[in-house]
Amino acid sequence: MGLDHIHIAIVEDEHEIRQTLSLILDGSKGFTCRYAFPDAESALASIGNLPVDVVLMDIDLPGISGIEATRKLKRENPKVDFIILTVQSDDDSIFESLCAGASGYLLKDTDPTDLLQHIREVREGGSPMSGPIARRIISSFRVIDNPLSDRETEVVKMLAKGLNYREIAEVLYVSPNTVKSHIKNIYSKLHVGNRAEAIYKAIKQKLI
C-alpha cells in the first residue's frame, strides 16, 4: 500500500452514493476502490486484514454505526486511515468519531475533486476536515474564564502532579501555610472541598 497508488474501501448504505464514489475513485489516476460495503457488518467481516490504505466511512448505517465500525476496524488495522464522510455535523458525531480513531471528517457536500485531494492529504499524514468541522474541533479548546489568580493556577497544576503542601511550598519558596491558604482559596473559588474535585473541575474548565 504505497503512497503512489491509493487503495480505498467505502462503507455507505445508500446505493446511489456508493456507486458514484466508487466510479469517481476508479476513474481517477492513482486511486482504486477495492471495496464498497453497504453496511458495517460486511466491512467488519474482513477485520484483521483490510488490504486498503483509506476507508471512507458513513456514520448513519443500518445496524452497527460507522463510528463503532471505525473503532473496531482501526484497532485491528492501525495503519489504515479512516475518513468519516457523512451529513452529521453534531458535536457528538464529530468527537466520538475522532475518539474512535478517525483521521478525517468530511461532510457529504464535499466537492468530488476536493475529496481526491483530501484522500491524498490523509495519506500524507494530514487530517482533512470540512471547514465548519475543523472550526468546531478547534473551538472545543477555547478557555472560558479563569477565576483563579496566576499563583493559584500554579498551585493547582502542582496539585495535579501529586505534590503535597510541603513540596509545593519548596517549589514556590513560600511557607507550607501559604500554600494551604492558596488551596483554601482555590476550593472556595471552584466551589469544591478537596483536591480530587478541584483537579477535576480545573481540567474540565480548562484552567490547567
Chain residues in the site for its own copies (CB under 8 A): 95, 98-105, 121, 124-132, 134-135, 137-138, 141-143, 159-162, 164, 192-200, 203, 206
Amino acid at 177: N
Query: Of 15 and 184, which CB lies nearer to its own copies in the complex structure?
Result: 184
Identify what 191 binds: its own copies, DNA, none; CB under 5 to 8 Å per kind. none
Query: Of 109 and 124, which CB lies nearer to its own copies in the complex structure?
Result: 124
Phi, psi at residue 94, to the nearest 5°? -60, -55
Q: What is the closest distance, in whole angstroms, from the C-beta atom of residue 64 to DNA in the complex? A: 16
Q: Is 72 in the site for DNA (CB under 7 A)?
A: no
Query: Of 137 and 172, which CB lies nearer to DNA in the complex structure?
Result: 172
Site string for DNA, 167-186 (x = CB under 7 A): --x--x-xxxxx-xxxxxx-
* Alpha helix segments (H runs only) across the chain: 15-26, 40-45, 66-76, 91-100, 112-123, 131-139, 150-160, 165-172, 176-190, 195-204
Identify what 121 binds: its own copies, DNA, none; CB under 5 to 8 Å per kind. its own copies
- The Cα 148–Cα 182 span in angstroms is 10
Nearest to 138 by CA among 95, 86, 81, 82: 95
Q: What is the closest distance, in whole angstroms, from the C-beta atom of residue 94 to its own copies in the complex? A: 9
Q: Which stretch, 76-84, 101-109, 126-134, 193-201, contacts DNA (CB under 7 A)?
A: 193-201
Greatest pairwise CA separation for the chain in angstroms: 73
**What b/e readout covers 79-109, taking b as 16+ CB neighbours within 10 angstroms?**
ebbbbbbbebeeeebbebbbebbbbbbbbee
Nearest to 84 by CA among 46, 24, 40, 23: 40
- The Cα 198–Cα 60 span in angstroms is 39
Identify what 35 binds: DNA, its own copies, none; CB under 5 to 8 Å per kind. none
> Grid coordinates in use for 5?
497508488
Q: What is the closest distance, in whole angstroms, from the C-beta atom of residue 177 to its own copies in the complex? A: 19
Q: Is 160 in the site for DNA (CB under 7 A)?
A: no
Which positions lie near DNA, rule CB under 7 A? 149-152, 164-166, 169, 172, 174-178, 180-185, 187, 193-196
